[in-house]
Amino acid sequence: MNPERFADYCIDIGPMGPIGEGEALILRATRNCPWNRCLFCPTYKEKRFELRKVEEIKRDIDTVKRISELIEETSWKIGWAGRIGQEVISEVVQSHPEIYGREPSDLTPENHTARRTLSNVINWIWYGKRRVFLQDANSLIMRPYELVEVLNYLKTTFPTVEIVTSYARSKTCAQRTLEQLKELRKAGLSWLFVGIESGCDDVLRFMQKGVTAREHIEGGQKVMEAGINLAAFIMPGLAGKDEKLSERHVSETIRVLNEIRPTEVRIRSLAILENSPLYAKWQAGDFEAPTEDQMIDELKAVIENLNFDCIFETLQMTNVLFNVRGRLSTGKKEMLAKIAQYKAMSLPERLRFRLNRYLYGYLDYIKVDAQLYQLIKEAKESLEKGLPEAEKRVEQAISAIKSKGIP
């Protein structure tokens, strides 16, 4: 078996892509995270950041083209006239066992990589080869002229590409000149996804975000002025249970967003994940987790006090009341009505609603071990019996469920 054969049909794919990019080709521009210190994020811990060489990225683009041509040729060969279907996919895999293996039980790591690449490309073709997402955590940290070169090569190789998206850090956005950002926009960079998380410097400092509210604003405004769409992620609950700090976290986050006026605001309510540094602090008593009701109150304040229109998105299961994506101007009334309806419930009703939301939303996606099973059992029993500790038991069960991962 020629090892170069795999290289011809495999690309480097990182561990994470954002919600909403299901139609995109995943193309890795950098590896891991150049900052990698945020307490709440476990994704890239223990992994070294690397800038990929432009030639490496171009080779991956060439590989995608090679696979695209193979799929198209196979489709015509079996009478599908260029269309994609399961028969075409099966024919590609079965006709090239030296790349994709034969039996699923006997696949090598190389076969799995080749199949993952094939799946990535097939999905992209299915949706019309329009979107590309650049991994990993901060592609904007590439030298601007090198990123422009990659974008130009991508658009030349695939003229169908209309939208190119990427994660970025506010600090990196602030460090780029307006002219550099405009050049990137001209080369095809359409969206940047930026983790604002909080506008409160004390919260940012504790969570080791490595950025200030002022840098959030400077970077965000510059991106918007350059004509690049900005999706700003914020995190209700990040200040913990402290009531005064929570109020500052919310009010200062709202202030930052109102100054930036991003294209989109995405809500990612806090989940304290098992492999994150924040989990260890929580277990040690150095961080007190917010309640679900507190995070709903924070979300309500954000919806009420943003003074600009934007796309508003809550498509993550940590947002317990609703999963929506639409214009804030048209959806605000309905979202606030749902929050009011929820808050009008009695405490036992709210507890039951929240627990059921996570039980029937999360459990298909996470591993339920003996300890988690016991916590869920105790929460259910305390609710059924109307015990005084029901609220505590439900919060413990929900926190434990969310710690296993975020679907």
Over 80: is that where the pLDDT of 407 sits? no
b/e per residue 278-292 (b: at least 16 CB within 10 A)? bbebbeeeebebbbb
Do the domain assignments include residue 105?
Answer: no
CA distances from 240 to 250, 292, 296 (A): 12, 11, 13
Q: Would you state the torsion angle of the CA atoms of residues 237, 379, 392, 394, taken in this order, to the nearest 10 degrees?
A: 20
Q: What is the mean pLDDT of residues 82-87?
A: 92
Place 88 in a pLDDT band, splitting at 50, 70 and 90: very high
Do the domain assignments include residue 159?
Answer: no
- How many distinct structural domains can be found in the chain? 1
Q: How high does pLDDT run on average in the chain? A: 95
Assign 333 to helix, strand or coil.
helix
Amino acid identity, position 365: Y
Residues of the chain with pLDDT > 90, as a percent, come to: 91
Amino acid 106: pLDDT: 85
Phi and psi based region of residue 320 (left: phi greater than 0; alpha: psi -120 to 50; beta: remaining): alpha
Alpha helices in 158-291 (DSSP H): 170-175, 178-187, 201-206, 213-225, 243-260, 277-284
Do the domain assignments include residue 379?
Answer: yes
Place 2 in a pLDDT band, splitting at 50, 70 and 90: low
Place 20 in a pLDDT band, splitting at 50, 70 and 90: confident
Place 3 in a pLDDT band, splitting at 50, 70 and 90: low
Q: Tell me the residue length of the chain.
A: 407
Write out the residue range of the structural domain in which residue 393 sits: 347-407
Amino acid 16: pLDDT: 79
Q: What is the mean pLDDT of residues 369-390?
A: 96
Place 1 in a pLDDT band, splitting at 50, 70 and 90: very low
pLDDT tens string 294-307: 999 999 999 999 99
Q: What is the mean pLDDT of residues 145-151?
A: 98
Contacts for 260 with CB less than 8 Å, ≥ 6 apart: 216, 217, 220, 221, 224, 230, 232
Whole-prediction pTM? 0.94
pLDDT tens string 190-201: 999 999 999 999
- In the chain, count of helices (H) and strands (E)? 17, 10
Amino acid 4: pLDDT: 65
pLDDT tens string 202-254: 999 999 999 999 999 999 999 999 999 999 999 999 999 999 999 999 999 99
Q: 111 near 99, Cβ under 8 Å?
A: yes
Amino acid identity, position 232: A
Distance CA 44, CA 268 (A): 18
Q: Give how far the C-alpha of residue 187 lies from the chain's centroid of Cα atoms, to the nearest Å.
A: 24
Do the domain assignments include residue 363?
Answer: yes
Cis bond upstream, residue 202 (ω within 30): no
Of the ranges 95-104, 133-142, 211-220, which one carries the lowest mean pLDDT score?
Answer: 95-104
Do the domain assignments include residue 68?
Answer: no
Do the domain assignments include residue 309?
Answer: no
Do the domain assignments include residue 337?
Answer: no
Assign 116 to helix, strand or coil.
helix
Do the domain assignments include residue 192?
Answer: no
Over 90: is that where the pLDDT of 17 sits? no
**Helix then strand then coil, % of the chain, to nearest 5:** 55, 10, 35
